[in-house]
Amino acid sequence: MHTPEPFSAVDVIRAKRDGGRLTDEQIDWVVDAYTHGVVAEEQMSALAMAIFLRGMDSDEISRWTGAMIASGERLSLDVSRPTVDKHSTGGVGDKITLPLAPLVAACGAAVPQLSGRGLGHTGGTLDKLESIPGWRASLTTAEIQAQLEDVGAVVCAATAGLAPADKKLYALRDVTSTVESIPLIASSIMSKKIAEGASGLVLDVKFGSGAFMKTLDQARTLASTLTSIGVDHGVPTTALLTDMNVPLGRAVGNAVEVAESVEVLQGGGPSDVVTLTLALAREMLALAGLDVDPAAVLASGEAYETWCRMISAQGGDPTAPLPSPSHVHTLVAPASGVLASLDAYAVGVASWRLGAGRARKEDPVQAAAGILCLAKPGEAVTEGEPLLELHTDTPSAVPAALAALEGAYSVASAASAPDPIVRETIRGTV
């Protein structure tokens, strides 16, 4: 005999549509019922739009997150090291996970970095790593556990059983114009991160042209919501608000970002990438209770050794040559002077059009596609000298990439000092 449902989806939608607060029981039911197909896609679409328009209070958001976590498994990371994780809200040239995970592991923590793929102008960590010959993204829970114990760091795809409600809802938000809802963004991020089972979490919440949140105020609101959710669920969470008006580092794409990350791990690399990597590492180590100087560990070469072990453990060859593009197009400086601006969003879109990103989840990406920024704001440039290098395996993509870069940079006689990358820190303690 069929047991009647305790709630009606229509009543839940109406309650939020009319500006009401959803009860804990309504939230638990609707997330579970949607995950199991009892609540139809069009009903959850309507509820997502109601949430987008009416918002949620902090208790609703925390409960919604908990219901998403409860929709699947929660990893139990039984390792001898303290566990700490990091999440970035996404940016252009944001390869920070690549040097950061092995660095923090080399300092004594375990870093379970379950990552995603790129969509639109922001690159995906897994796409970057898949440019390394042999490297594989999919690991079992047992493999994740073993690698954390042995190497201290793992960067891989989320297991299928982790927050399945989020997977369904994420796809739905994408096609119903409800992506930009802070309650839905925050619960999506935190349900996956809390389900990973780390005992501490550091968030890189970006703002600016190349970020999801365009203003510092928007980023602050999201960061505050995220840290509150972490605290509510017993996970100490720190958020850094970081600038994404200019691409991070000089490399934007897949293989080119891996190469730049290796430079950082070997003691070089762009100063902004090094600065942000160390800032995030310090916060992660503080949450892990480890009194270690990450700058000293980076300089010692131990982080690079850990990187090689991490890549090898997932079938990759850290010494193999990375893919190179069949076509390179060089963009030259229009005048002599100082590069005054370089718009992150435009560079991200151009890289995407060259083949480094995807418009739909099922689209392939080119390992060798991307852009090298041969000059960054504040640096001197000479008229006619190379400014940007466009890499692709499809030369026909170059005109569309060039169109994205129109008006994306400017040259002046002098330029003001660049803004600091890390603008604010928000700490949520349990």
> Could you confirm whether 173 is annotated as catalytic?
yes
Number of helices followed by number of strands (H, E) in the chain: 16, 13
List Cβ neighbours of 268 (8 Å cut-off, separation of 6 or more).
Answer: none
Matching residue, tokens 């994780």: 85
Radius of gyration for the chain, computed over Cα atoms and rounded to the nearest angstrom: 22
Q: Any idea which residue has 């560990």 for tokens? A: 297
Residue 70 CA to residue 357 CA, distance in Å, equals: 32
- Choose, from 173, 233, 329, 353, the residue flagged as catalytic: 173
Active-site option among 71, 88, 187, 188: 188
Q: Catalytic: which of 28, 94, 127, 166?
A: 166
Are 399 and 343 contacting, i.e. CB atoms less than 8 angstroms apart? no
Q: Which of 63, 86, 87, 95 is catalytic?
A: 87
- The active-site residue out of 192, 206, 220, 309 is 192
Distance CA 112, CA 104 (A): 11
Q: How far apart are CA 239 and CA 244, in angstroms?
A: 15
Neighbours of 384 (CB within 10 A): 11
HEC sequence for 49-108: HHHHHHCCCHHHHHHHHHHHHHCCECCCCCCCCCECEEEECCCCCCCCHHHHHHHHHHCC
- Does the active-site annotation cover 166? yes
By annotation, the residues acting in catalysis are 87, 166, 173, 188, 192
